[in-house]
Structure formats: C-alpha cells, structure tokens
Amino acid sequence: MRGVRSAEVEAKITRHLQRFADWLADGLGHDRLSAVTPREVAAWRDHLSDHGNTRHTASAGPMAPATVNNHLAHLSALFSWIIVHAPAALLRNGDPTKKVDLLRLPAPQVRALAAAQVRTVKNVLDRIEDFHQLTGRRHGGTTGKPTLHRHARPLRDRAIVHLILSTGLRRAELVGLDLAQLDPCDPAELRRVKKAALTGVRGKGRTVRTVFVGRDARHALADYLDQERPGDADPVSDALFLASSSIAARRPGGRLSPRSVNTIVDQVGRLHDAQTSDRERHLGALRPHDLRHTFGYRLSEASGHNRAELERRLGHANDRYLRLYTNPPDDIAAGYVEDL
C-alpha cells in the first residue's frame, strides 16, 4: 500500500492491522501468522463489534458494523498478499479471512435537512460573524470593525458549510481542494459569474469529477478569499481553506484536517439550535454528511431522480447509497400521507 495509497489511508490500514496483531498476541501469547484461523478472525470481528470503540472516557464500547467490516477488508487484503508472496507451508489451510462473514449493515438512515431547517441554517450563517465577537468593555467601541477571537474565521466557516450544501463534497474532498481548482478563483469574478466550478475533485475509488458551485457558496467563497484567506496564507499555502495562522500547531501550508470540518459544522449546528426556539427545527449534532445528504436529496428532486446526475455530482456509484438520496426527510414523508 505504501506509495499507492494516500498517507491518511496508509495510516488507517496500518492502525487496523496493528489492532489485529495486538489482539492476537494478547489472546495467544504470540502473533505468528500460521496460527491465524477463521475462528480467530471471527472472534476478532465479534470483539470489535462489542468492544472495539474506545470512548473519551477510556471505556470500551461497540464499533459500527461498517467500521468493523473495514477492518476485516484490510485484514483480508493482507492475507491475499501473503498467499501470493509467502511460502505455501505458511498458511496450510489457505486464507483464514475467506470463511468469515462480514457484519450485516443496517439500512442507511436519511439524514437530510428539511427545507425549514436549511432556511434557518442559512440565516445563522448570514450572522455568523456576530457569534465570534469578543464582548466586554475593552473590546467595545463605536468605530471600526468588531473585535473577533484571534483564532476565529467566520467567513471561512460560512463558506465551508455553504460549499457542502451546494456541492455535497465529503470532508476529505473539501480539505483536499486547492485554490487553483476553483474556476474562477478571483473574488470579484465569483460574485459576478452565474457559473463556477471546482475541477479535478478527487473522491473515493480514485474517481475524479467536476462539481458546480451554487450562488450562496460563490458569494461566501468570494468574501472568504477577499477578507480572510490572505491573512492566513504563506508562500506554500495551496489549499483553498486554511487554518488560522495564529494556531501554532497548524499543518504545513495551513491546510485544514477533516476533523476540523467536523468541528466547524458541529459549531454551526449548536449556534443554530441556540438561536431557534422551534424544537421541530432543532438539528442536534450536525455533521458534514448531513449537509451532503441534504444536497443529494435536493439534487435528486431537481434532476427528476436522474441516476447519472447523482453519480456524476456525488461521486457515488453504489445503488444502496444512491437510493438513500431519493428518500425524503421525515417531515416531508409524513406530509405525503397526512390527508390520505
């Protein structure tokens, strides 16, 4: 995998395989490959399912079935490689992962935001700078711009949320974007044109696609590029979205991490719920994939459930997930049967 997969994927595969090695050594007292049997692989699968997730409190909890299956896929790939390259006597009974079934995945859940929720989220985004202002007498005054927290980048956060809502980008795709992929990338042009695009977006399975950027996202990006990004950029800052330059531990070039996108989206969700008295509109924990699902559902409606368009814009070819984007949020589904 080294030199073939990205550094992030390489690290994940290494981590998964090390978990199996540690679990095997802990249970058998050694980690010899010849001792790995289908029984051991199945027991590891069940262990991950019941106790594989370490919580913040250091206690063990269940691991999601999809994550368990991801661990098994990486272990299977390792043994497939061993079968080809190792002496035949090493694994006398063949690949021990072949006879171990994957966990059944639950039906995908619809996580799209309803139209009323999208409206209130956008209203919060319009006012997001207000929530980052420093309060108190020393930060007051009647002239000049309000003082913001030194790490705060409200225009960047607004642009990120609008961009996911407008394009359905995944976290990794979003943080992997370079400024050069935005066409046009000039703020004045972004405000003027009626069509902008992100080219060469790299998704899962080595797919590459072009996504179009909606009006709200174009204007939010223009504000960010005009007012915030220049202050955080350095000579090696190719990324579209940059971490605050005041953060000492930021990545080289300032590129955001996928986890940072989680934090930004979650914070917007918390602000939304704090500003919304209508409990029916509350979002709870808002995640980037909720915004992606919202885009997918709205694109499905706008395109007449055009499968080819969904594949092209979402970078997904799996029927199981494409069907998910045609399912309406609960309040819309409830409305279908209200008067029947």
Cis before 184 (ω within 30): yes
The residue behind tokens 């919304």 is 276
Residue 314 near residue 324 (C-beta atoms within 8 A): no
Residues ≥6 apart with Cβ < 8 Å to 83: 91, 94, 95
What is the rounded CA–CA span in Å between residue 69 and residue 66?
5
Bridge partners, 197 (sequence order): 183, 212
Bridge partners, 182 (sequence order): 198
Residue 326 near residue 300 (C-beta atoms within 8 A): yes
Query: Tokens standing for 299?
Result: 């694109």
Could you say which of 158, 229, 255, 292 is catalytic? 292
Could you say which of 5, 127, 204, 215 is catalytic? 204
Instruction: Provide the H-helix boundaries in the chain.
Output: 7-28, 38-51, 65-85, 115-126, 128-131, 154-167, 171-175, 187-192, 215-227, 229-232, 258-275, 288-302, 307-314, 319-322, 330-337
* Known active-site residue 316: yes
Residue 196 near residue 213 (C-beta atoms within 8 A): yes
Residue 62 near residue 50 (C-beta atoms within 8 A): yes
Residue 268 near residue 124 (C-beta atoms within 8 A): yes
What is the rounded CA–CA span in Å between residue 210 and residue 312?
8
* Known active-site residue 323: no
Could you say which of 289, 307, 312, 323 is catalytic? 289
Q: How many CB atoms lie within 10 A of CB 27?
A: 13
* Known active-site residue 289: yes
Could you say which of 71, 171, 298, 325 is catalytic? 325
Count CA within 13 A, CB hemisphere, residue 17: 15
* Known active-site residue 297: no
Could you say which of 153, 170, 218, 229 is catalytic? 170
* Known active-site residue 85: no
DSSP 8-state secondary structure symbol assigned to residue 144: S
* Known active-site residue 204: yes
Indicate which residues carry an active-site annotation: 170, 204, 289, 292, 316, 325
